[in-house]
Amino acid sequence: MLKTVQTFLKIAVVMGLLVGCQSMTGQSTGDYVDDASVTAAVKTKLANQQPTSLSRVEVETVKGVVHLMGVAKTEEDKAEAGRLTKQVKGVKRVDNDLKVQSP
C-alpha cells in the first residue's frame, strides 16, 4: 500500500511539473520535447563540422523556430550554420543572429 501511495505521489509531482512548464512557456509538453530534440540535433550537426569553426554557436528552439546566437569566424561559416540548421527535421524557420568575428 505504501509503494502505491509513493508511486501516485511521484506521478502527481511529475504531472504538476509538466503543467507548470506549459503555463510558463506557453508550450505543450510535446512541443517542448520536440523543440529540445531539434536543438540537440542542430547542436550535433554544427559540432560535427570540420574544422569546428561553429563551436561557439548557441542554439535555442521555440515551436520549431531555431535561433542561432554567438560567433562565427567568417560570413561563410555563418551561412553554413544556417544551411545546416535548415536541414534538420522539425525546423520551421532559422533566425541566424550569429556575429562574424572581427579580424
Strand duo 93-100 + 65-72: pairing: parallel
Q: What is the SS3 assignment for 66?
A: strand
Whether the per-residue pLDDT at 102 is higher than 50: the answer is yes
Whether the per-residue pLDDT at 31 is higher than 70: the answer is no
Q: For 38-67, write each residue's pLDDT tens digit.
A: 999 999 888 888 766 676 789 999 999 999
Return the residue matching grid coordinates 569553426: 53
The pTM (predicted TM-score) of the whole model is: 0.68
Mean pLDDT score, 66-71:
94
Q: For 11-27, write each residue's pLDDT tens digit.
A: 767 766 665 554 455 55
C-alpha cell at 26: 506557453
Mean pLDDT, rounded, of the chain: 80
Measured over the CA atoms of residue 66, residue 72, residue 77 and residue 79, the dihedral's sign is positive
- d(CA 96, CA 99) in angstroms, rounded, equals 9
